[in-house]
Amino acid sequence: MSEPDLSAQEAVSIGSRLAGARVAAAHPARSGGNNRVFRLEMAQGPPLALKQYPSDGRDRLGQEYDALSFLSRHGIMLTPRPVAKDADSFCALYQWFDGEAAVLRPQQDDAEQLADFLIELQKLRDAEGARGLRNASASIFSPEEAVAQYQQRLDGLRQASSDHPELRAFIDNSLVPSTATAIRRLRQRYAELGRDPGADLLPAHRALSPSDFGLHNALRAEDGRLRFIDFEYFGWDDPVKLVSDTAIHPGSDLPEASANRLIERLSRAFEAGDDAFAIRRDVLYPVFGAIWCLIVLNAYLPESRSRRALAAQGGDLTVRLAGQLDKARRLHQTICQRDPDLTPR
């Protein structure tokens, strides 16, 4: 459940109090399903961003504010600098970044910029305060945890699919058979190597991850450089999940060549310190792909935030749901094209 949206007048009042300076005006900007952002025009000085978070039982404000404070403290300039927060009003104040949503006009070097940032981030793994950071949202530290996440999402969607024959057909005839093959292969590979797929990844092999990362959460400055926003899910995770999620994320919709470049660069970086990284990447990538198919289909769940967001956009909800199913089919096809052994026969 979310707090009611702030009015511009309320944003001015909260912003002035948090900044300790007068706010001249507040303009809604970058509204999203999980939060609302205002650009605050200050009476003196550069504009600031006031972000309101939902009160949905998860400490989004705390997770993001702590993450951005850590990054700012260690010299990361491509993320907003925190200014102040107020847990009672579910609001926080940040540096404002000008720029166009990067996803609107993708550029050839976007994958390189995404990889550069993630590689730079790993240099802070042993920095002061790093060990005190939380785990990333939906983090996994063993292959079996990824399988369990897939199964949990699948069970919920299967219940919802009884009233949607096309959704049920996609799940039963395409997604489940291919993912069953991937899981079977994962467990077989681990058995051959004498490894336990349920064993937790050593802390030394974990990565700092924005978790929800890509062009959908990036702004492009006038010089073409990307800056990154929305770190509500930031924390420790398996680097294989970080690499897979960034390459697959439907919000970025990276072309195949760009996704491959990103995977290659990040893999080189992580393989240098983890001799099992390539094994986990090869067996887990299709499982994370299946999880993303299910995330895209969240809108079919009656109480999901995705469904409410689609409904709020207006139009025929049935048509919008069909569009999500089509997106999931395309994503599944991309995963199977990358690994033809997964194509259901």
Model confidence pLDDT, tens digit, residues 107-148 = 999 999 999 999 999 999 999 999 999 999 999 999 999 999
- Give the torsion sign (CA, 169, 173, 178, 183): positive
Mean pLDDT of 328-342: 92
| Domain extent listing, the chain | 8-96, 120-342
Which pLDDT score, from 0 to 100, does residue 1 have?
Answer: 42
Rounded mean pLDDT, 158-174: 92
CATH number of this structure's domain 8-96, picked from the four choices 3.30.160.40, 3.30.200.20, 2.60.40.420, 3.90.930.12: 3.30.200.20
Q: What does the block give as tokens for 139?
A: 């983090």
Burial of 101 (0-12, 13-18, 19+ CB in 10 A): middle
Kindly state the average pLDDT of the residues 65-70: 98
Q: Calculate mean pLDDT across residues 144-172.
A: 94
Q: What is the pLDDT of residue 207?
A: 98
Q: Residue 35: its pLDDT value, please?
A: 65
Place of tokens 């699919």: 161
Mean pLDDT of the chain: 93
Residue 122 is encoded by which pair of tokens? 């790993």
8-96 matches 120-342 in fold: no
Judge contact between 2 and 312, C-beta under 8 A.
Answer: no
User: How far, in Å, CA of 225 to CA of 138, rounded?
Assistant: 29
pTM confidence score: 0.92
Confidence at residue 67, expressed as pLDDT on a 0 to 100 scale: 98
The 10s digit of each residue's pLDDT in 275-322 is 999 999 999 999 999 999 999 999 998 877 666 666 666 667 888 899
Exposed, middle or buried by CB within 10 Å (0-12, 13-18, 19+), for 276? middle
At the second CATH level, the architecture of 120-342 is Alpha-Beta Complex (3.90)
Region 44-56: what's the mean pLDDT? 92
pLDDT digit string, tens, across residues 228-275? 999 999 999 999 999 999 999 999 999 999 999 999 999 999 999 999
Distance (Å, rounded) from C-alpha 106 to C-alpha 103?
6
Average pLDDT over residues 54-83: 94
Residue 14, pLDDT above cutoff 70:
yes
